[in-house]
Amino acid sequence: MQVGLFTNFNLIAPFGVRSMANFVYLVPLFPLIGFLINGLLWKKMPKSLGGIIGSLAILASFVVSLGIFFEVRTASFQGPLIVNMFEFIHSGKLLIPFAFQVDALSSLFLLIITGIGFLIHVYSTSYMGHDDGMVKYFAYLNLFVFSMLLLVLGANYLIMFIGWEGVGLCSYLLIGFWFKNRDYTNAAKKAFVMNRIGDLGFLVGMLLILFNYGTLSYQDFFGQLHAGSASASSSCMFNWIAFCLFIGAMGKSAQIPLHTWLPDAMAGPTPVSALIHAATMVTAGIYMIARSNALYDLAPVALSIVAAVGLATALLGATIALYQNDIKKVLAYSTLSQLGFMFLALGVGAYTTGVFHVMTHAFFKALLFLGAGSVIHAMGGEQDIRFMGGLRKKLPVTYITFLIGVLAISGFPFTSGFVSKDEILLAVYEYNKIYFAIAAFVAILTAIYMFRLLMLVFMGGFRGTHDQEHHLHESPAAITIPLVILAILSLAGGWIQLPHLFGGHDYLNQFLAGAKIPAIVHEGPNVATRELTLLVATCVGLLIIFIATRKLFAVSQFEGKYTGFKNVLANKWYIDELYNSVVVNPIAAMSRMMEKFVEKSGIDGIVNGVGKTVKWGGDRLRLLQSGQVGFYIFIMVLGMIILFALSFFWIK
Amino acid sequence: MILILLIAIPLFAGIFSFGIKGDGAKVLGLISSMLTLVAAAYVSGANYIAPVSFSQPWIPLLGTQFSLMGDGMSSMLCLLTGIVVLVVMITNVSKEVEKPGSFYGLLLLSQAGLMGVFLAYDALVFYVFWELALIPVYFLCSQWGGEKRIAVTFKFFIYTFVGSLMLLAGLIYLSLQTPGLSSYAWADIVRAGASLPPEKQQWLFWLVFIAFAIKMPIFPFHTWQPDTYEQSPTPVTIILSALMVKMGMYAVLRWLVPVLPFGVAYWADTVVVLSVIGIVYASCIAIVQTDIKRLIAYSSIAHMGLMAAAAFTHSQVGTHGIMVQMFNHGINITGMWVMVSMIEQRYGTRDMTKLGGMATAAPQMAIALLIIAFANIALPLTNGFIGEFMLFNGIFRADSAGHITIMVVAGLGIILGAVYTLNMVQKTAWGEEVKMNSGKDLSTNEYLGLAIIISIIIFLGVYPKPLLDLTSGIAGVITAGH
């Protein structure tokens, strides 16, 4: 089903709008308008008005998204709807339209992005209220939502790529939002460059698709994949394409080895960390692979790499999170770990499960970050958990909601995190038992570091300064209301995919089936046993962890430095140091060498040498013009003799 | 006749300008460049219907005719020339130069030469304009340049003069192969050249190509460029990097690829490899520069390397991409230089280690720098992206065996490009505020000049269709033989 921009308007019946999905371009349009208003009038715009405009733009998008979502859910919705806007690139046979695709997958992501986006905008009106750059901040934030919407709405890989790099730009701008701080702008630069490395992979992947299939449109490409039989040679090609695209996903979703930018990205304002570096942008890689599931199904090698990288990242993130003392860093490594879980799910072929975890993670991780923001706000900017403690009395709403977030991410039974994580674990169990064991171990670590965080921040006595203690207060409603809404979602969000055993209906699987995204359906007599085992194991495990963390991570542990293996973990496995000494510094050194030896002494030396030779020769030749006629005649005669001699030998 | 105007307006305005003292030259320059732009826009507009051409007997004895052709590629470059020179004039309004009459006169003469190069449809006419465009630049650089201007101009002169001589020899040789032994008309040259045996084309290739390779410049013929850019006054740097560099690229597509197809095919791999080495090499050197002008110079070498590589891969999309990129690179680098000159004027230095905090001191300048910087690294929805995507696409489609490897190595440029460009942004715009010596945020004329640049960046980034349509026909023609 295809509609053009202008034919759309014919669809408007005199009495109103017949189809919401045809107006999908409104969804990114509102944030774009918000960006333009705030971006162009930033000088004159009052702060509060800027916040209101920014938030309303996202609210409007959310409303349209809701309409589209419910339309896509109806039985009468036929397949993906392509809305062509205009011809973007046209050269010879190459034709890439600027087009949007509405289907179950994109409409679900629309809801996540605009829904959580709106809550975070509201939150930011208060959180950023004292910042001079607030209007600029909302302009950036709206631009981000616009780019993210392009990313998920595009009907071909190029539009996805536009959004892909667009969110990278906004991430760059927002990480370096407080641009006077050199560390922050370094972090911003690092994020952009590491993403660029991934983007090169994405670009090569796109060109491979274009070269082999002559199209970048999802429908054409996947159509050809479905139609064609996978011969041996093309199977190799599928793997390459899938792998190249996955490199892009590694960059954007911070997977090993391109993960080091994400923890540094915490330099940005906390709501940005919640929106961009937890709930939405970093899940773009998962979206991409879920979108390309038809390709990945034909690329078993690439898919197994996805699973392995996901698992490794999950483990790495969780181990590092254990020994971080910055509240945002703990959450950042936790995000790495959870993203790893999502890729693991995709890698074992459980695409809908991966998407489901994107959703539940968006709820609880946004909640945790916003909660952390509320804590940082109350602490007057302090982020070190060693100097917190006992905040539960002063910040009751933040405490309760944060607790819910911790329970959800730890997989407390029947919270959203429990449902999605158990689905992943079950899928992994059927894929590979060792992977399952590691994943279960990561799940345990997750609970440990989250409880540690909860203990250190909210339990015990206050360890900060008197000033800070005096200053402690619960945040205003603009902050607490989003927290409460997200807490409810974190608790109940798993309902849509509750296992049959507990009376659920797999709503999400059914919905995503509309976008041709296959689900792993767990059947057979063992499944109920496994699910029950997991449930009991989780309960027992969490109880033990809850008791153990109180002893394990007593505050006295912080005196002095970490030693041994703990120190390696606290230093993030020294991966940043490794990259600096293996990649960054050698390139800089090599560049300096090239400038000095190849450029200056080498090429330029030759050119200057030629110049000097000519000048030297000229200086000598000049002496020949002595002005003595006799000398000239002598030279002339000499020349004639030589010519005669030459011609004599020539004839012979 | 309209094509004659494109050359005549700046030519006569330039000559006239020498006689003017004081600010009159500025006004004359503005008026002339506006009129030229209108004419260029007209020619470009006409191209959507049919190409414009013009021919007049010139020196019958040599068999040369004064014939001009304003097809898609030519008119696109004339339009670029018109826009760039206008922006130069606008942004220069608030600056003082010594001997303004001669300064603007030479600038306009150079513009006339450039128009001629892009329009010439006869090899001798082409050569004459090629020199006419260069000569004013020697004077501009040696009279109004920086401290090391004489040495640098000398180097620049040696480079281009050697190239020009070889080019002239090559063109005369080609003309001797034409029926009647002396026609310089483009069609005759193409017929004569293409029918030469491959062995002859192989050596003739270098005779013609060296001049273009120096102009672009292709590694390792590039070392005149950073020095010349650094030492020239900004308007001249803009003319050199936004327009003269395109002379080389344009000439490859007009006077080399169709003329010596076998020679081009034979040396294609060599040139592609040199270009790709140039991309990585120039990008690496750009990373360690501290002078913004040198950084941008090396960045430009990297960008041109990508175009050069695509020119020798014979794909339609790649060739089309070159045309798009020639225009967009010209716009973006003009924006870059305008920024640099404003920074130099306000802070009194181009050394990035001594700059910082422009976002606090002059937020409008910082925003403009940010947009132009991201266009420079081809962020999607800026004009830089469209061309780059098409160029990579073209290289990817090349016939040679290692085309994917070549594309990936060339692709390293987008990573390294992000490194040095963001370094520059960080060191100038971000950080603690460094006090400006003089001046404030954008003045009205600077605002206007940058507004033109930025509007084009965004418009062509979102909706490149007008530019693509203008050049699609000629891209098809150039690659038709392959």
B104-151 pLDDT, tens digit per residue, is 999 999 999 999 999 999 999 999 999 889 899 989 988 888 888 888
A640 touches chain B (CB under 8 A): no
pLDDT at residue A559, rounded to an integer: 53
Pairwise pLDDT comparison (A549 vs A87), residue with the higher score: A87
Which residues neighbour A625 within 8 Å (Cβ) at sequence distance 6 or greater? none
* H runs (alpha helix) in A432-517: 433-458, 466-471, 477-492, 507-513
Q: Closest to B320 (Cβ–Cβ): which among A91, A158, A211?
A: A91
A117 vs A58: CA distance, rounded Å: 7
- Show residues of chain A in contact with B281, CB under 8 Å: 594, 598
B141 vs B14: CA distance, rounded Å: 17
A601 touches chain B (CB under 8 A): no
DSSP letter string, B63-113: TEEEEEEE-HHHHHHHHHHHHHHHHHHHHTTT---SSHHHHHHHHHHHHHH
* H runs (alpha helix) in A561-624: 564-570, 575-579, 585-593, 604-624
A4: phi then psi, degrees, rounded to nearest 5: -95, 170
Query: Tokens 């560390």 correspond to what residue?
Result: A183
Q: What is the mean pLDDT of residues A452-465?
A: 84
B94 vs B70: CA distance, rounded Å: 34
pLDDT at residue A11, rounded to an integer: 42
Determine what percent of chain A is predicted with pLDDT higher than 70: 93
- A213-235 b/e with 16+ CB inside 10 Å = b? bebbbbbebbeebeeeeeeeeee
Which residues neighbour B291 within 8 Å (Cβ) at sequence distance 6 or greater? B230, B350, B351, B352
Task: Indicate yes or no: CB of B223 within 8 angstroms of CB of A599.
Answer: yes
Which helix (H) or strand (E) segment holds residue B343: the answer is helix B316-347
Token pair for A168? 């990278």
A112-140 pLDDT, tens digit per residue, is 999 999 999 999 999 998 888 899 999 99
Reference A373, options A526, A266, A513; nearest CA is A266
Q: Would you call B55 helix, strand, or coil by DSSP?
A: strand
Q: How far is CA A343 from CA A280, A314, A517, in A?
A: 15, 9, 15
Chain A with chain B: Cβ pairs closer than 8 A: 129
A225 vs A405: CA distance, rounded Å: 41
Query: Tokens 């004839």 correspond to what residue?
Result: A651
pLDDT in tens, chain B (482 residues): 788 999 999 999 999 998 888 788 889 999 999 999 999 999 998 888 888 888 888 887 777 888 898 888 999 999 999 999 999 999 988 888 888 889 999 999 999 999 999 999 999 999 999 988 989 998 998 888 888 888 888 888 888 888 899 999 999 888 888 877 778 888 888 888 888 899 889 999 999 999 999 988 888 888 888 888 888 888 999 999 999 999 999 999 999 998 998 899 889 889 999 999 999 999 999 999 999 999 999 999 999 999 999 998 888 899 999 999 999 999 999 999 999 999 988 888 889 998 888 888 888 999 999 999 999 999 999 999 999 999 999 888 877 678 888 888 999 999 999 999 999 999 999 988 888 887 788 888 999 999 999 999 999 999 999 999 999 888 888 887 65
- DSSP 8-state code for residue A626: -
A439 vs A442: CA distance, rounded Å: 5
Which helix (H) or strand (E) segment holds residue A227: the answer is helix A218-227
Residue A7 pLDDT greater than 70, yes or no: no
B397 vs B393: CA distance, rounded Å: 6
- DSSP bridge pairs for A16: A13
Gap from A614 CA to chain B (nearest CA, Å): 10
CB count within 10 Å of CB A434 equals: 10
pLDDT at residue A636, rounded to an integer: 85
A110 vs A117: CA distance, rounded Å: 10
Q: Would you call B21 helix, strand, or coil by DSSP?
A: coil
DSSP letter string, A523-588: -SHHHHHHHHHHHHHHHHHHHHHHHHHHHHT-GGGGSS---HHHHHHHTGGGHHHHHIIIIIHHHH
Mode of pairing for the β-strands spanning B52-59 and B64-70: antiparallel
Gap from B101 CA to chain A (nearest CA, Å): 33
Strand residues in A76-208 grouped as ranges (E): 81-91, 94-102
- Show residues of chain A in contact with B412, CB under 8 Å: 200
A408 vs A420: CA distance, rounded Å: 10
Gap from B396 CA to chain A (nearest CA, Å): 7
Q: Closest to A211 (Cβ–Cβ): which among B154, B397, B429?
A: B397
Sheet holding A2-4, edge to edge: A2-4, A81-91, A94-102
Token pair for A453? 């965080």
Delimit the domains of chain A by residue range: 156-570, 577-651
Classify residue A263 as exposed, middle or buried by CB count within 10 Å of its CB (0-12, 13-18, 19+): buried
Task: Indicate yes or no: CB of B381 within 8 angstroms of CB of A162.
Answer: yes
